[in-house]
Amino acid sequence: MAGEEKQSGKNEEPRAAGMTRREAMLEFLRLGGVAAGIAGAGIWLSERSQRPVPNQAEQQARRDHRVAASAEWPQMVVAQNAEPRELVRQALADLGGIGRFISRKDVVVLKPNIAWDRTPEQAANTNPDLVAEVVRQCWQAGAKRVIVTDVSCNEANRCFHRSGIQAAAQAAGAEVVLPDPDRFREVELGGVVLKSWPVFTPFLEADKIINLPIAKHHALTGATLGMKNWYGILGGERNRLHQQIHQSLVDLASFMLPTLTLIDCYRVLLRNGPTGGNLEDVATKKTLVAGTDPVAIDAYVAKAYWNLEPEQMPYLTMAAARGLGTVDFASLKVKASRLG
């Protein structure tokens, strides 16, 4: 078991003969909840590569919710083959525990994707059980408030209800905040494309922010993952941003630096995203990818499920150039856990 390997101090490369480390990582993620054909399937760790430190001038316009990097813990983890709540518990434990990220009296905002009037089975929104477990973990860490919110594309009441997220988050004790036109504030974002734009105020008032996107196909970017999820902090005519979508994504990612990113890959919408609707487009992977490098996480999931290289998703290379992370996910310190 992965936990037993960690306790014994073994660092094993989960790969078959002839596989590079990068290939082994991709194979592990692609297989998802089915049995892996990779030796070990437990832990792989690299001592190379630390998260780039952005220069101080760039910090001016940012909402920087990150915590200090630690050589003791991986920068990215993969948990597989379990239900969403257990995946969250395993991933957070592998990253060092929720207490590493959330402190007592923190106001925490969780940003799932609640954009679409879809059911959980259609995989257009973040899994509600995943959201509920992150809420519970934040309370366990001593958070002062835990807020779950998003600026939906479809009518918000229907999205929050039909996604199952409203009920699940409230049952876990969260404040569920629907977008209110009176609660947007014009903010200087300091971007190349995004200069001044209305931002939903809960995202401006949080001590910590956890990004909870779902992995989906997207017609314009190839996939919509962690950084694309930040569109849901904005008001106004967001469709205008599609004309320069990659630059706008980097502007947003540079402005909103999360404490943690957890990409929901329990169900993955492989085609006809981001709205989906057809269950034949959904693959059940029973997987969660989490970590502190948002660029690497997006690059990893995009390559594993859609075979997309960073060059095919220009926002990734642009974000890396801006110091937001690395596209070389195989260079990170990573832990993989297969449960069940």
On whether the CB atoms of residues 221 and 249 are closer than 8 A, the answer is: yes
pLDDT at 13: 43
Mean residue pLDDT across the chain: 88
pLDDT at 31: 81
> Taking the CA atoms of the chain, what radius of gyration do you get in angstroms?
18
Binned at pLDDT 50, 70 and 90, residue 308 comes out as: very high
pLDDT at 33: 65
Report whether pLDDT(8) > 80.
no
Picking from 121, 128, 112, 152, the residue whose alpha carbon sits closest to that of residue 263 is 112
Report whether pLDDT(1) > 90.
no
Report whether pLDDT(322) > 90.
yes
Report whether pLDDT(337) > 70.
yes
Between 55 and 149, where is the model more confident?
Answer: 149
> How large is the average pLDDT for residues 103-116?
97
Report whether pLDDT(4) > 60.
no
Report whether pLDDT(44) > 60.
no
Report whether pLDDT(51) > 50.
no
Report whether pLDDT(35) > 90.
no
pLDDT digits (tens, 9 = 90+) for 211-257: 999 999 999 999 999 999 999 999 998 888 888 999 999 999 999 99
> How large is the average pLDDT for residues 47-70?
56
Domains of the chain: 59-72+91-292+302-320 (3.40.50)
pLDDT at 181: 94
Share of the chain above pLDDT 90, in %: 79
pLDDT at 54: 36
> How large is the average pLDDT for residues 187-203?
93
Picking from 215, 206, 331, 307, the residue whose alpha carbon sits closest to that of residue 256 is 206
The DSSP annotation for 25-89 comes to: HHHHHHHTTSPP-SS--SB------------GGGGGG-EE------TTS-SEEEEESS-HHHHHH
The least confident of 38-52, 70-84, 259-273, 277-291 is 38-52
> How large is the average pLDDT for residues 80-93?
98
Between 65 and 50, where is the model more confident?
Answer: 65
pLDDT at 50: 37
Picking from 314, 152, 329, the residue whose alpha carbon sits closest to that of residue 235 is 152
Task: Respond yes or no on whether the N-terminal peptide bond of residue 274 is cis (omega within 30° of 0).
Answer: yes
